């Protein structure tokens, strides 16, 4: 530890920290453009100048390590003068287009110019202008505004692991860009917009839409993957305009995947804003009373064991609980949340959680990924793995399709045979796992959503046990879901009851009434022709197209909801805007319909529902925090090891950008598919 004095305040800070960090520890704000906590130090903007005793010239505090006894001044006349000078140089080539710049109002340069800028410019020469390259459908470039802080270059190289950006040319001709014009191929490219301290990189879909001060900001949780990224929903009036990440070091640090950020325009399209009823083969608009009557009559005239419900991927825990309890009161055990057919033993939480936790990845020293393209299924979590890999002494193995995961991986094999090869030690990667102190494995949906999923689950558990991945202070067995609702659904047991039917049995005419709660990812062709389908959800997607009754629900931005991420972390999102038209929050629809059927659920308000949830499942009492499980319970999951087939693992996501009703409705995501998967886009047309 080094003891330093900042403006007379004594602080103790770890050796190797920078002067800027020391100043922050002392509560002093240092202006900066290029410095960023999560990126390497570049030291090229020079805005963070401070004075240090016994150093004759001002020092860039971001790159200056502290020394014991250092006396730092952050606000002397000399410091101010130096920063003013820096600011004047930065503004030489910066255009005065704040009124038409999307960064206006949330621009670091604008803010600092208020403190350190001159009221008039002394510069009379020509300003530099730079061409606007096309970086694809998400990031809009106005490189004339660029102040060459290189944050975007460092982000794409270090965090995203897709080194496509660089600074070409030099001096006044220096340009930040891709050199060869191309769309950014990172799933995290939207974060460049947040990182850019000026208006050089802004959001293309959001261009000229709103000013930051017009927006109503609501904290929420992303549901487009199972990471549970903390987000802020920015809305104006009844419209969600953009989604930004919120800081949460345990989950997403400050990153957000592109799909989660840019799918907002999908929230306005193909919405179910009124109930629909199928009559003579055609859907017609109906009133709530009509659909309630239709549903009630149909259910009353059907035996309970011929009614089934499948919960989708974006659903909140509250509505699943309401649906589950409604079905229980009707006497039907046919419930399933695994519309992808990922059937495996979920009798213990440890069997289906990402037990290591996302932050815990940083403690691991070896990783085996089985049947997952984590870059597509959970880009933010994948960035955490890359962060761990960058820190060194970390080896990753991959079983499945050999994707580029942005870090070096040893391709152990394409299918379950590779698990066997590791179990009997014939594959050299077994030595890596054996030598590791904290090895972990990630079991993806690609390994579970197949007929032998349960067997592979058991085999992976055996592998974890054999390589000492589970002990008193380490749990290295992880399941990586890609459906945001899945963990919560498993937590509340949204699974077939005794004698109950799972998804596969409900399809093909296994039930007479099928209640799809936002379930669109199943093969609707496989639903029996005579099955009466009730679709409750927010988008006119696959499920609604097949439905006989449509109950318009609320998207995640339109309701208070609880979600459990893949780690088992319970998080709550808040309502940002009202659902459109006649659409209602899903639990309310279920509550109303249950009363109609004479089985009224016991809660009238969300508070009551949540109290009931916590009472029934005490784990939900703890929100936001995560209690990491220790790997002490070595009871193996049920699963016949002999049933493992040798078919190679297949990717679960066809593409990253369109995976759910919201992103499928989004024109921005369609543009991304066109840019990155030209063959897919053609096939869609």
Chain positions contacting other proteins, by CB under 8 A:
157, 163-170, 178-180
Q: What are phi and psi of 177, to 5 degrees?
A: 175, -165
- Contact between residue 631 and residue 581 where contact means Cβ atoms under 8 Å apart: no
- Contact between residue 153 and residue 167 where contact means Cβ atoms under 8 Å apart: yes
Instruction: Report which DSSP code applies to 248.
Output: B
Task: Output the CA angle 182-185-188, nearest 5 degrees.
Answer: 130
Instruction: Give dist(CA 89, CA 93) in Å, integer.
Output: 8
Q: In whole angstroms, how close is the CB of 162 to other proteins at the nearest point? A: 9
Task: Render 282-309 in DSSP notation, one character per residue.
Answer: EEEE--HHHHHHHHHHHHHTS-GGGEEE
Q: In whole angstroms, how close is the CB of 215 to other proteins at the nearest point? A: 35
Q: In whole angstroms, how close is the CB of 198 to other proteins at the nearest point? A: 21
To which H or E segment does residue 545 belong?
Answer: helix 542-546
Q: Which is nearer to other proteins, 174 or 681 (CB)?
A: 174
- Contact between residue 596 and residue 296 where contact means Cβ atoms under 8 Å apart: yes
To which H or E segment does residue 243 belong?
Answer: strand 239-245
Q: In whole angstroms, how close is the CB of 181 to other proteins at the nearest point? A: 11
Of the candidates 192, 233, 326, the residue with the CA atom closest to the CA atom of residue 662: 233
Task: Render 320-347 in DSSP notation, one character per residue.
Answer: HHHHHHHHHHHT---EES-TT------S
**Token pair for 266:** 């999908």
Dihedral angle of Cα 456, 459, 460, 464, to the nearest 10 degrees: 170
Q: In whole angstroms, how close is the CB of 133 to other proteins at the nearest point? A: 13
Instruction: Give dist(CA 454, CA 378) in Å, integer.
Output: 22
Q: Which is nearer to other proteins, 168 or 287 (CB)?
A: 168
Q: Which is nearer to other proteins, 54 or 170 (CB)?
A: 170
Instruction: Give dist(CA 388, CA 381) in Å, integer.
Output: 11
Q: In whole angstroms, how close is the CB of 170 to other proteins at the nearest point? A: 5
DSSP bridge partners of 219: 232
Q: In whole angstroms, how close is the CB of 44 to other proteins at the nearest point? A: 14
Q: Which is nearer to other proteins, 21 or 175 (CB)?
A: 175
Q: How far is CA 580 from CA 241, 517, 519, 599, 628, in A?
A: 15, 18, 20, 28, 39
Q: Which is nearer to other proteins, 168 or 605 (CB)?
A: 168
| HSE-CB for 306 with a 13 A CA cutoff | 13
Q: How far is CA 619 from the centre of its chain?
A: 22
Q: Which is nearer to other proteins, 161 or 510 (CB)?
A: 161
Long-range contact pairs involving 231-240 (C-beta distance under 8 Å, separation at least 24): 231/256, 231/260, 231/573, 233/557, 233/576, 234/210, 235/557, 235/576, 235/577, 236/210, 237/577, 238/577, 238/578, 238/580, 239/268, 239/577, 240/264, 240/267, 240/268, 240/557, 240/576, 240/577
Q: In whole angstroms, how close is the CB of 97 to other proteins at the nearest point? A: 24
**Token pair for 460:** 């992976």
Q: Which is nearer to other proteins, 83 or 386 (CB)?
A: 386
Instruction: Give dist(CA 362, CA 387) in Å, integer.
Output: 8
When computed from its CA atoms, the radius of gyration of the chain, rounded to whole angstroms, is: 27
Q: Which is nearer to other proteins, 407 or 535 (CB)?
A: 407
Q: In whole angstroms, how close is the CB of 141 to other proteins at the nearest point? A: 15
Q: Which is nearer to other proteins, 389 or 477 (CB)?
A: 389
Q: In whole angstroms, how close is the CB of 156 to other proteins at the nearest point? A: 9
Instruction: Give dist(CA 450, CA 238) in Å, integer.
Output: 41
Q: Which is nearer to other proteins, 174 or 630 (CB)?
A: 174
- Contact between residue 260 and residue 225 where contact means Cβ atoms under 8 Å apart: yes
- Contact between residue 394 and residue 365 where contact means Cβ atoms under 8 Å apart: yes
Q: Which is nearer to other proteins, 189 or 487 (CB)?
A: 189
Q: In whole angstroms, how close is the CB of 228 to other proteins at the nearest point? A: 31
Of the candidates 202, 649, 573, 261, the residue with the CA atom closest to the CA atom of residue 418: 649
Q: What are phi and psi of 3, to 5 degrees?
A: -100, 120
Instruction: Give dist(CA 418, CA 411) in Å, integer.
Output: 10
Sign of CA dihedral 165, 170, 175, 180: negative
Q: In whole angstroms, how close is the CB of 176 to other proteins at the nearest point? A: 10
Q: In whole angstroms, how close is the CB of 186 to other proteins at the nearest point? A: 13
Q: Which is nearer to other proteins, 152 or 463 (CB)?
A: 152
């Amino acid at each position: 530890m080094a003891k330093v004095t900042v403006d007379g305040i004594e602080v103790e800070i770890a050796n190797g920290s920078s002067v800027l960090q020391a100043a922050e520890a002392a509560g002093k704000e240092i202006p900066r453009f290029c410095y960023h906590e999560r990126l390497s130090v570049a030291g090229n903007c020079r805005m963070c100048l401070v004075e240090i005793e016994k150093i004759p010239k001002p020092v860039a505090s971001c790159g200056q390590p502290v020394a014991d006894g250092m006396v730092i001044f952050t606000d002397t006349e000399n410091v101010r003068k130096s920063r003013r000078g820096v600011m004047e140089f930065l503004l030489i080539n910066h255009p005065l287009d704040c009124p038409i710049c999307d960064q206006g109002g949330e621009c670091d340069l604008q803010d600092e110019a208020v403190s350190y800028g001159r009221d008039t410019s002394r510069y009379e020469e020509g300003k530099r202008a730079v061409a606007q390259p096309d970086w694809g459908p998400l990031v809009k470039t106005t490189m004339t505004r660029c102040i060459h802080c290189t944050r975007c270059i460092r982000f794409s190289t270090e965090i995203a692991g897709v080194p496509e950006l660089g600074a070409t040319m030099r001096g006044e001709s220096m340009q930040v860009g891709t050199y060869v014009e191309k769309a950014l191929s990172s799933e995290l490219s939207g974060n460049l917009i947040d990182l850019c301290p000026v208006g050089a990189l802004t959001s293309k879909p959001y261009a000229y839409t709103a000013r930051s001060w017009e927006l109503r900001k609501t904290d929420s949780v992303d549901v487009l993957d199972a990471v549970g990224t903390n987000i802020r929903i920015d809305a104006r009036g009844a419209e969600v305009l953009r989604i930004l990440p919120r800081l949460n070091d345990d989950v997403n640090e400050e990153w957000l995947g592109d799909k989660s950020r840019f799918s907002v325009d999908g929230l306005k399209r193909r919405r179910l804003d009124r109930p629909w009823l199928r009559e003579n083969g055609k859907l017609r608009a109906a009133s709530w009373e009509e659909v309630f009557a239709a549903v009630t009559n149909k259910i009353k005239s059907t035996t309970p064991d011929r009614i089934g419900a499948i919960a989708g991927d974006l659903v909140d825990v509250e509505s699943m609980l309401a649906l589950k309890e409604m079905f229980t009161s009707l006497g039907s055990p046919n419930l399933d949340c695994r519309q992808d057919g990922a059937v495996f033993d979920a009798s213990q939480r440890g069997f289906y959680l990402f037990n290591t936790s996302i932050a815990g990845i940083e403690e691991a020293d070896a990783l085996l990924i089985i049947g997952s393209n984590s870059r597509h299924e959970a880009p933010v979590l994948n960035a955490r793995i890359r962060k761990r890999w960058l820190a060194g002494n970390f080896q990753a193995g991959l079983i499945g399709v050999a994707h580029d995961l942005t870090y070096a991986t040893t391709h152990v094999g394409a299918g379950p045979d590779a698990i066997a090869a590791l179990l009997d030690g014939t594959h050299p990667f077994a030595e890596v796992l054996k030598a590791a102190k904290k090895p972990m494995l990630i079991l993806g949906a690609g390994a579970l959503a197949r007929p032998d999923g349960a067997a592979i689950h058991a085999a992976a558990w055996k592998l974890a046990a054999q390589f000492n991945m589970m002990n008193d202070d380490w749990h290295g067995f992880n399941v990586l879901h890609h459906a945001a609702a899945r963990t919560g659904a498993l937590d509340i047991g949204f699974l077939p009851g005794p004698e109950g039917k799972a998804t596969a049995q409900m399809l093909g005419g296994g039930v007479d009434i099928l209640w799809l709660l936002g379930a669109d990812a199943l093969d609707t062709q496989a639903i029996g022709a005579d099955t009466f389908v009730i679709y409750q959800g927010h988008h006119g997607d696959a499920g609604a197209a097949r439905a006989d009754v449509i109950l318009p629900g609320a998207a995640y931005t339109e309701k208070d909801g609880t979600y459990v991420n893949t780690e088992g972390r319970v998080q709550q999102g808040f309502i940002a805007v009202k659902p459109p038209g006649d659409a209602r929050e899903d639990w309310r629809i279920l509550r109303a319909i249950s009363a109609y059927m004479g089985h009224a659920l016991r809660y009238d308000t969300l508070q009551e529902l949540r109290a009931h949830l916590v009472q029934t499942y005490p784990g939900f009492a703890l929100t936001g925090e995560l209690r990491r499980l220790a790997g002490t319970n070595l009871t193996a999951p049920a699963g016949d090891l002999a049933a493992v087939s040798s078919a190679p693992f297949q990717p679960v996501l066809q593409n990253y950008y369109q995976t759910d009703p919201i992103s499928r409705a989004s024109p921005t995501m369609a543009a991304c598919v066109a840019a990155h998967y030209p063959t897919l886009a053609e096939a869609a047309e």
